[in-house]
C-alpha cells in the first residue's frame, strides 16, 4: 500500500508541467504497475496448491510469464499456455461466451508458441509468420490484444530493420503481408498508446516500457 500512497502523492505534485517530473512519475507508475501484475506469482507461492487448482490464478500467472518474456526479448523453452483447458466444459452448441473464451485461450496459446520460436533459425521463419498471423485473426477488437500483438510484431520485425526504432519504414503499402507496413503500424500504435491514447494507465505504462526498451537496447 505504501507504493500506491506514494504514487497518489506523486500525481498531486505541483510541478507536473515539468517534463522531467512527468518522466519520473511515469517511471515510478510503471514500476508500481509491474509490481501489481506480479502479485499473482506471490499468491501462487503462498497457496502452494493448498486450495486446489484455481484456473484464473494459474492462467494469469502463466500469461504473466508470457508477457514478461515478450517484453524483455527472452524466449520460452516451452509454451506454458499450450492446450490450456477451459474452466468448465463448453455448452453444445457453444454459447457466445464459450466461443469468446476459446478464442482468448487460442490467442494466448499462439502467443506462447511464438515465444518458443527463435528468429535466428531459418527453419522457424514460416512458423513464426504463421503464428503471428493466427494471433492477428484473434484480436477481436480488444485493446490489450492489439497491444500485445503489436509488441510481438515490433519484436520480430524490428530487430531485422535497419536503425529501428529511430527510422520509420518509408514505403508504406496497404499490403498486410508487407513487413515495413506491419512494423510502421505496430510502432506508431504503441507510441501513441504510450503517449496518452491508451485507455488505461496499465496500457499506457506497459507501452511506455516497451517503447523505451527499443531505444535502451540499441544504445
The DSSP-derived string for 42-84 is HHHHHHTTTT---HHHHHHHHHHHHHHHHHHT---SS-TTTTP
Tell me the H-state helices in the chain: 2-11, 19-37, 39-47, 55-72, 96-114, 125-137, 143-158, 179-192, 201-216
Is-cis flag, bond preceding 175, omega within 30?
Answer: no
The pLDDT of residue 134 is 97
Distance CA(101)–CA(96), nearest Å, equals 9
What are the Cα distances from residue 216, in Å, to 2, 164, 212?
Answer: 29, 12, 6
Neighbours of 187 (CB within 10 A): 22
The pLDDT of residue 85 is 65
C-alpha cell at 61: 500467472
- CB-based burial label for 154 (10 Å; 0-12, 13-18, 19+): buried
The pLDDT of residue 93 is 81
The pLDDT of residue 174 is 66
Q: Indicate the DSSP class of residue 123.
A: G
Give yes or no for a contact between 34 and 26, defined as CB atoms under 8 angstroms apart. Answer: no
The pLDDT of residue 90 is 66
What are the Cα distances from residue 193, in Å, to 2, 94, 201, 203, 204?
Answer: 28, 34, 10, 7, 6
The pLDDT of residue 38 is 93
Distance CA(90)–CA(38), nearest Å, equals 30
For every one of its 219 residues, what pLDDT tens digit does the chain have, with 9 covering 90 and above?
788 788 887 877 777 788 888 888 889 899 999 999 999 988 877 665 555 567 888 889 999 999 999 999 999 999 999 977 666 666 778 888 888 999 999 999 999 999 999 988 777 889 999 999 999 999 999 999 999 999 999 999 998 888 899 887 665 666 777 888 899 999 999 999 999 999 999 999 999 999 999 998 887
Amino acid at each position: 500500500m505504501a507504493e500506491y500512497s506514494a504514487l497518489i502523492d506523486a500525481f498531486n505534485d505541483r510541478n507536473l508541467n515539468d517534463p522531467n517530473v512527468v518522466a519520473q512519475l511515469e517511471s515510478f507508475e510503471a514500476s508500481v504497475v509491474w509490481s501489481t501484475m506480479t502479485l499473482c506469482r506471490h499468491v501462487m507461492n503462498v497457496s502452494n496448491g493448498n486450495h486446489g487448482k484455481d484456473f484464473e490464478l494459474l492462467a494469469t500467472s502463466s500469461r504473466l510469464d508470457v508477457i514478461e518474456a515478450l517484453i524483455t526479448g527472452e524466449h520460452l523453452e516451452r509454451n506454458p499456455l499450450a492446450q490450456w483447458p477451459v474452466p468448465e466444459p463448453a455448452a453444445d452448441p457453444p454459447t457466445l461466451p464459450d466461443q469468446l473464451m476459446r478464442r482468448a485461450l487460442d490467442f494466448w496459446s499462439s502467443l506462447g508458441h511464438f515465444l518458443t520460436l527463435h528468429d535466428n533459425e531459418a527453419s522457424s521463419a514460416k512458423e513464426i509468420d504463421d503464428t503471428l498471423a493466427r494471433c492477428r485473426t484473434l484480436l477481436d477488437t480488444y485493446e490489450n490484444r492489439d497491444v500485445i500483438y503489436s509488441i510481438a510484431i515490433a519484436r520480430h520485425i524490428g530487430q531485422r530493420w535497419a536503425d529501428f526504432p529511430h527510422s520509420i519504414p518509408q514505403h508504406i503499402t496497404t499490403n498486410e503481408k508487407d513487413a515495413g507496413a506491419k512494423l510502421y503500424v505496430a510502432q506508431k500504435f504503441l507510441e501513441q498508446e504510450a503517449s496518452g491514447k491508451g485507455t488505461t494507465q496499465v496500457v499506457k505504462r506497459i507501452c511506455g516500457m516497451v517503447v523505451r526498451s527499443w531505444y535502451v537496447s540499441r544504445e
